Amino acid sequence: MARVITVGAAQLGPIARSDSRARVVERLIAHLREAKRMGCDLVVFPELALTTFFPRWYMTDQAEIDSFFEREMPGPETQPLFDEARLLRLGFSLGYAELTEQDGRPARFNTSILVDRDGRIIGKYRKVHLPGHREHEPWRRFQHLEKRYFDVSDTGFRVWRAFDGILGMCICNDRRWPETYRVMGLQGAEMILLGYNTPVHNPPAPDHDNLSLFHNQLVMQAGAYQNGCWVVGVAKAGDEENVPMIGGTQIIAPSGMTVAATRGDGDELAVAACDLDACASYKTTTFNFAVHRMPQHYGLITERKGAEPPP
């Protein structure tokens, strides 16, 4: 019998800086209810789904910065989301800013969790590839201070046996790096859950702006195909605090083909029935790592007559 998991990619439209957690959680719950109506088993929410994308502002007041972070999960404001998911028997993945303590000091991560149908957290991932910059750069139209506000991951890329398959998670900028998919692919990942908040405008490279959606789709499709797994990429979309976000939420098959996608830039659900057994067609043929992958040769340099030595 095929192992089919029906996934809802729950795109969010803009979240204002003034929006309360309660208001945002109501939107997430609405997604859960629609996903249940459409027969979903798992709902995937974007990166930093509970707040506006706060790294676009330079802040020096630590209390103000920490107001965007969750000190516990679930907490009083997010418990209704877990309760509704448990009632509906739906799993979900959620991105948020996590404030915790390590070795007696505060630690802050860009985090995603995987929650089962019983409302239990069964997986946690903290973002590895933090983009942007650390110090205030006034020349930018908006800031991108993830390096300032977040610590680099201490989890690395892992997978979890859940929903009758092998699932992994990554966040936003992680999707641009082939190692992200490959590390999870080497662990047998059959589906990767990926939330992001990506502005259309790239201040250091504005010539990339009209390629933003293309690059988004390119890296996710390549990651899916080259590792024989499903990729569920879910956006925060629309014009958020005068910063247009790219959207482009989609569910990608192990073939690299997009099988479901959102059409607009608001709250919208893209749904696909994902056959996890379809991964085998790629994992046992073209991308059979055990048979065809040759990492022991990757560092070899073949000397050619007349060729310049490497720098």
Q: Which residues are catalytic?
A: 47, 127, 172
**Cβ neighbours of residue 310 under 8 Å, at least 6 residues apart?**
301
Neighbours of 185 (CB within 10 A): 27
| Pairing between β-strand 165-171 and β-strand 191-197 as defined by DSSP bridges | parallel
Buried b / exposed e along 90-116 (16+ C-beta atoms within 10 A): bbbbbbbbbbbeeeeeeebbbbbbbbb
DSSP β-bridge partners for residue 260: 251
**Cβ neighbours of residue 269 under 8 Å, at least 6 residues apart?**
8, 9, 10, 11, 31, 34, 35, 38, 262
Q: At what angle do helices 178-185 and 212-227 cross, to 10 degrees?
A: 20
Among candidate residues 181, 212, 235, 230, the one with its CA nearest the CA of residue 48: 235
Give yes or no for a contact between 207 and 232, defined as CB atoms under 8 angstroms apart: no
Helix (H) or strand (E) holding 100: strand 91-102
Helix (H) or strand (E) holding 11: strand 4-11
